[in-house]
A and B are shown apart, each in its own frame.
Chain A
Amino acid sequence: MIETWEGKTFQGLLNDFEPACKRLLQLSQERGILDGKTALTMKAVIAIYQRLVKNVYTLHEDKEIEFIKEIIQEKSMILTQHSITAKNRISQNAKALMRDGMTVLIHGHSSVVMHTLIKAVQRGIKFDVVVTQSLNHLGQNVKKILENHKIPTKVIQDSAIALVMPKVDCIFVGCEAVVENGGIINKIGTFTLALVAQTFQKPFYVFTESLKFMKEFPLKQDDALRLASNGNEVDIENILIDYTPPEYITLLFTSIGIFTPSAVSDELIEFFSG
Chain B
Amino acid sequence: MEEDKSKQNQKKETKPKEKPDKDVGKLVESGKTLTAEEKQALRKQKKEEQKLAKLAKVSQKQENAPEEEQKEDKKEKKQKQQQKKEEKKAPHISVIDSQKQNLTNIQHALAAPKVEREDIKEGDGELQSQNSLKTPSTHSKRSRGPSFYQQNLPGSEAKEELQKVGSIKEIALFSRLANFKELSGLKEKYHYLHPKILDLGLRIINEQYTSSNTRCIAMIQALKHFISDFTVPENKSLNRELEEELNKIIQFWQECRPFSTGLENAMRLIKEFVSQLNTKLTPTKQKSMINYKLNYIIQDKIIEADQSIIKKAMELFSDQEEELILILGGVQLLQMIFQEAKENNKRFKVVVADTSPDFEGREMVKRLSNLGIKCIYTMISGVNFLIHKVTKVFIGASSVLSNGAVVAKIGTSIITCMAARHQKPVVVFSETYKFSDKVNLDAINNNEIGDPQKLANNQKACQHGQGTQRSALGDWQKSKSLVLLNLKYDLTPCQNINMIICEFGRIPAISVPVVIRESQRENEENQENILDELDS
- Could you list which residues of chain A lie within 8 angstroms of chain B, going by C-beta atoms? 180-182, 215, 217, 219-220, 222, 233, 246, 262, 265-266, 269-270, 272-274
- Tell whether A270 pairs with B514 under 8 Å between CB atoms, given A219-B392, A220-B425: yes
Residues A181 and B504 in contact, CB atoms below 8 Å apart: no
B160 within 8 A of A: no
Q: Is the CB of A219 within 8 A of B498?
A: yes
Assuming the contacts A220-B425, A265-B511, asked whether A273 and B518 have C-beta atoms less than 8 A apart, the reply is yes
CB contact between B507 and one of A180, A222, A233 (< 8 Å): that residue: A180
Residues of chain A contacted by B318 (CB below 8 angstroms): 222
In the complex, chain A residues whose CB is within 8 Å of the CB of B505: 215, 269, 272-273
Q: Is the CB of A269 within 8 A of B504?
A: yes
Q: Is B25 an interface position by the 8 A CB rule?
A: no
A/B interface sample: 14 pairs, CB < 8 A: A180-B507, A182-B508, A217-B506, A219-B392, A219-B425, A220-B425, A233-B320, A246-B508, A262-B510, A262-B511, A265-B507, A265-B510, A269-B505, A269-B511
CA distance A269 to B519 in the complex (A): 12
Q: A180-B506, A265-B507, A273-B505 are in contact. List 7 more A-B contacts (CB 8 A).
A: A219-B425, A219-B499, A233-B320, A269-B505, A269-B514, A269-B515, A269-B518
**Measured between alpha carbons, how far is A182 from B506 in the docked complex, in Å?**
13
Residues of B within 8 A of A (CB): 316, 318, 320, 392, 425, 427, 498-499, 504-508, 510-511, 514-515, 518
- Give, as a whole number of angstroms, the nearest-CB distance from B394 to chain A: 12
Contacts of A219 in B (CB 8 A): 316, 392, 425, 427, 498-499
How far is B515's CA from A233's CA once the two chains are assembled, in angstroms? Answer: 35
Q: Are A180 and B425 also in contact (CB < 8 A) when A270-B514, A273-B518 are?
A: no
Residue from B425, B427, B498, B505 whose CB has the most chain A CB atoms within 10 Å: B505
Please report whether the interface of chain B is mostly helix, strand, loop or mixed according to DSSP. mixed
Residues in B with CB closer than 8 Å to A273 are 504-505, 518
Known: A180-B507, A180-B508, A246-B508. A265 touches B514 (CB 8 A): yes
Q: Is the CB of B507 within 8 A of A269?
A: yes
Residues of B within 8 A of A265 (CB): 507-508, 510-511, 514
B321 CB to nearest chain A CB (Å): 9
B316 neighbours in A (Cβ, 8 Å): 219
Q: Top 3 A-B pairs ranked by shortest CB distance? A: A181-B508, A262-B510, A265-B511
Q: Assess the B504–A262 pair: CB atoms within 8 A.
A: no
CA distance A273 to B505 in the complex (A): 10
B434 vs chain A, min Cβ distance (A): 18
Kindly report which residue of chain B lies nearest to residue A182, judged by CB atoms: B508
Give the complex CA separation of A180 and B506 in angstroms. Answer: 8
Complex CA distance for A69 and B156, rounded to whole angstroms: 89
Which A residues are CB-close (under 8 A) to B511?
A: 262, 265-266, 269
Closest partner residue, chain B, to A217 (CB atom): B506
Give the contacting residue for A262; candidates B506, B508, B515; CB below 8 A. Answer: B508
Report how far A269 CA is from B499 CA in the complex, Å: 14
CA distance A220 to B498 in the complex (A): 10
CA distance A219 to B318 in the complex (A): 11
Residue of A nearest to B427 (CB): A219
* A215→B498 CA distance, assembly (Å): 16
CA distance A71 to B505 in the complex (A): 29
Task: Enumerate chain A residues within 8 angstroms of B425, measured Cβ to Cβ.
Answer: 219-220
CA distance A233 to B506 in the complex (A): 24
Q: Across the interface, name the chain A residue whose C-beta is closest to B498.
A: A219
CB distance from B511 to the nearest CB of A (A): 4
User: Distance (Å) between the CB of A167 and the closest chain B CB?
Assistant: 31
- Report Cα–Cα, A34/B499, bound state, in Å: 31
Shortest C-beta distance, A248 to chain B (Å), equals 14
Report which residue of B425, B508, B518 has the largest number of chain A beta carbons within 10 angstroms of its beta carbon: B508
Q: Select from chain A the residue with minimum beta-carbon distance to B494.
A: A262
